């Protein structure tokens, strides 16, 4: 629950609609993106949630971060349980973002989040086809991330066989940060712009029970939110704006790189690229990107979060283990960007709108701006 002191002041004519997912109402239709590694932790999620929006924790490499904080080793289940428990202490709506690509820890992260009573699990970086089968979700909403109506249809068909329907869906367009769900020759096509993807996804969502549709990727302002809601979206998800807040757990150097970024500093990288094989949006000033491009990166795999299965079904494969400059080490790069890696080459992921960020502000200031309660500050 929010309290009156923390709530943004309403401005007549600028109010945003509430967002209801699986019977729970979020007063502002804004979901803070689950940014990994270590940017979206309980501090940021709680700050967002108490102001009436949805705060989200990222499960990526969460065991490393929570272990360091507690001074003892915890596994992915314990890390997810601990972080969600902490995030929920202040009240409000709390979600957990869990990437399908993190095969090794996926099920444990889901179970830990569910057992801690998380309000929603938001899952992408691959289609979360098995999510409802892992453990009965009870009151927790299960929310897949898709990049097309076809992907939503596939998920609804698969989940339907399990007796479940998505409680909401996040439609992530090609302007999002990190991994994007489009090939290099597709992400700039006009038909793949978020506003052009929304109508077909909205139609598919209606067909399957009027599932709430949350749009993401390239959304910066209150006016952007109003525009997409007018087009039929039920809510928005925003990452980069919340990255650039005092409460986010990104390092100071990461935040400063965002503030200083120009349009030319933001790149969807193909070579070098993520060992997951997906195009990846980043800042070209990222030390990990530069080290890989200059072929000075040490080819190690001492974290193993994105390991894939080999021919014998073992989680042993990672392209970043190989020498050369085709792949950067996403694990160490992202963990370093949160200040927790022994490898100092950080990776700075951002959305396409990062060049518009001019200063680091508080979550309160940002929520007031996004809700329409205050004008953007120069």
% of the chain with per-residue pLDDT over 90? 69
Using CA atoms of 256, 260, 262, 265 in order, give the dihedral in degrees to the nearest 10.
Answer: -50
pLDDT at 31: 98
* Distance linking the first and last C-alpha atoms of the chain: 31
Residue 9 has pLDDT above 60, yes or no: no
Positive or negative: CA dihedral 218, 59, 143, 131: positive
Q: 310 versus 155: which is more confidently predicted?
A: 155
Rounded CA-CA distance 143/181 in Å is: 16
Of 37-41, 44-48, 91-95, 367-371, minimum mean pLDDT range: 37-41
pLDDT in tens, 99-121: 998 888 999 999 999 999 999 99
Q: How confident is the model at residue 278, as a pLDDT? A: 80
Q: Give the mean model confidence (pLDDT) for residues 256-283.
A: 90
In whole angstroms, give the CA distance from residue 133 to residue 158.
11
CA angle 368, 369, 372 (to 5 degrees): 85
pLDDT exceeds 60 at position 82: yes
Are 138 and 159 a contacting pair, CB within 8 Å?
Answer: no
Instruction: Return the sign of the alpha-carbon dihedral for residues 334, 337, 343, 345.
Output: positive
Give the model's pLDDT for residue 120: 98
Average pLDDT, the chain: 90
**377 pLDDT tier (thresholds 50, 70, 90):** low
Given a cut of 80, whether residue 248 has pLDDT beyond it is: yes
Band (375; pLDDT cuts 50, 70, 90):
low
All domains in the chain, ordered by first residue: 19-250+358-371 (3.20.20.70), 252-337 (no CATH)
Element holding 239 (H helix, E strand): none
Q: Among 9-23, 147-161, 179-193, name the one with the lowest average pLDDT.
A: 9-23
**Interatomic CA distance for residues 331 and 324, integer angstroms:** 17
Of 277, 322, 270, nearest in space to 301 by CA: 322
Closest CA to 372 of 1, 4, 54, 9: 9
CA gap 89, 314 in Å, rounded: 38
What is d(CA 76, CA 60) in angstroms, rounded to the nearest whole number? 9
pLDDT-derived band at 22 (thresholds 50, 70, 90) equals very high
Q: Return the minimum-mean-pLDDT range out of 7-16, 175-184, 326-335.
A: 7-16
Cis upstream peptide for 164 (omega within 30°) = no
């Amino acid at each position: 629950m929010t309290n009156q002191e923390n709530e943004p002041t309403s401005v007549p004519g600028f109010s945003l609609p509430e967002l209801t997912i699986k019977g729970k109402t979020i007063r502002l239709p804004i979901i803070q993106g689950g940014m990994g590694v270590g940017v979206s932790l309980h501090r940021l999620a709680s700050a967002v949630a108490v102001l009436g929006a949805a705060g989200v924790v990222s499960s990526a490499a969460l065991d490393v971060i929570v272990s360091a904080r507690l001074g003892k080793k915890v596994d992915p289940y314990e890390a997810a349980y601990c972080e969600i428990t902490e995030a929920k202490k202040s009240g409000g709506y709390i979600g957990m973002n869990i990437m399908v690509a993190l095969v090794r820890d996926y099920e444990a992260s889901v179970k830990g989040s569910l057992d801690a009573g998380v309000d929603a699990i938001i899952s992408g970086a691959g289609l979360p086809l098995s999510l409802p089968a892992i453990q009965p979700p009870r009151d927790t909403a299960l929310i897949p991330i898709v990049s097309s109506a076809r992907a939503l249809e596939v998920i609804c068909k698969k989940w339907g066989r399990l007796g479940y329907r998505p409680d909401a869906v996040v439609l992530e367009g090609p302007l999002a940060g990190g991994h994007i769900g489009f090939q290099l020759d597709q992400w700039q096509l006009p038909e793949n712009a978020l506003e052009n993807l929304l109508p077909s996804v909205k139609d598919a969502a209606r067909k399957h029970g009027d599932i709430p549709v949350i749009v993401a990727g390239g959304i910066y302002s209150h006016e952007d939110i109003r525009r997409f809601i007018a087009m039929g979206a039920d809510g928005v998800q925003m990452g980069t704006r919340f990255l650039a807040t005092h409460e986010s757990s990104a390092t100071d150097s990461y935040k400063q790189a965002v503030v200083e970024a120009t349009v030319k500093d933001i790149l969807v990288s193909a070579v070098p690229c993520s060992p997951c094989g997906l195009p990846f949006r980043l800042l070209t000033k990222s030390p990990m990107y530069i080290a890989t491009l200059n072929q000075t990166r040490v080819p190690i795999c001492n974290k193993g979060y994105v390991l894939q299965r080999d021919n014998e079904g073992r989680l042993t494969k990672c392209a970043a283990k190989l020498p050369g400059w085709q792949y950067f080490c996403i694990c160490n790069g992202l963990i370093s960007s949160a200040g927790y890696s022994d490898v100092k080459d950080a990776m700075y992921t951002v959305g396409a709108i990062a060049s518009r960020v001019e200063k680091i502000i508080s979550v309160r200031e940002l929520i007031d701006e996004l809700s329409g309660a205050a004008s953007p500050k120069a």
